[in-house]
Structure 1
């Protein structure tokens, strides 16, 4: 596909990623504050939410990486727009890194919010939350 099509695809993927971020945070907030929610609900169900979000974020990340690779291939050619394709690929890679950091920050915030409500009082619950946070590490 054309470099411009790869950029448009990456922008659409970013829109989807924003929606997944909102859903991820919304699910956590519901577990924490919703009816029947609280620290125990978070400890019991948050690892599943993390697993679902991780799978989705990894799929989106792979697609963005593929778009960046397409742009890098276009940049290596002599055709018109090679410089623009190179810059677009560089920006996509930068956004990938920022999104990874954002996701890790959101997960850390979730853990902190849970701990404030007493989820850390029980060692098993705290361990489940630590595992969920660790699971988010390799995304990107």
Structure 2
């Protein structure tokens, strides 16, 4: 039987700091989107993804791939966004993979929210670290993502 390799003090500190930072940063950014624009973090993810797609539209399977969400989660969330008038569902020649697009309200929501969201990201992340620290952090994240394999979301 292989001996368990527990985390050393420095490793434990790094891991817990990463988890705490990720949790608190996600909470702060999500809270800002909700309070200022009535959008959840999931709403924002979908709006950004669609806004960056050609003609602001994507097939459902493409959204699953780009968000790295479970199909059922995406389906339920898109239905809620559709009811709120942020996205529309359009049939395609493949009934199992409809196309989703931004509505004018969805387009306006991302136009309104994106500048304030970027300002929050800058305030909470990039204004806190130096360009050198940001570059090292990026390299570290990319190294871990490579080790995880698969296509990044």
Is the shorter-chain TM-score for this pair beyond 0.5, marking a shared fold? no
Where relative contact order (Cα < 8 A, 6+ residues apart) is larger, the structure is: 1
If each structure's helix is expressed as a fraction of its own residues, which one has the higher value? Answer: 1
- The alignment's TM-score, normalised by the length of structure 1, stands at 0.31
- The alignment's TM-score, normalised by the length of structure 2, stands at 0.29
If each structure's strand is expressed as a fraction of its own residues, which one has the higher value? Answer: 2
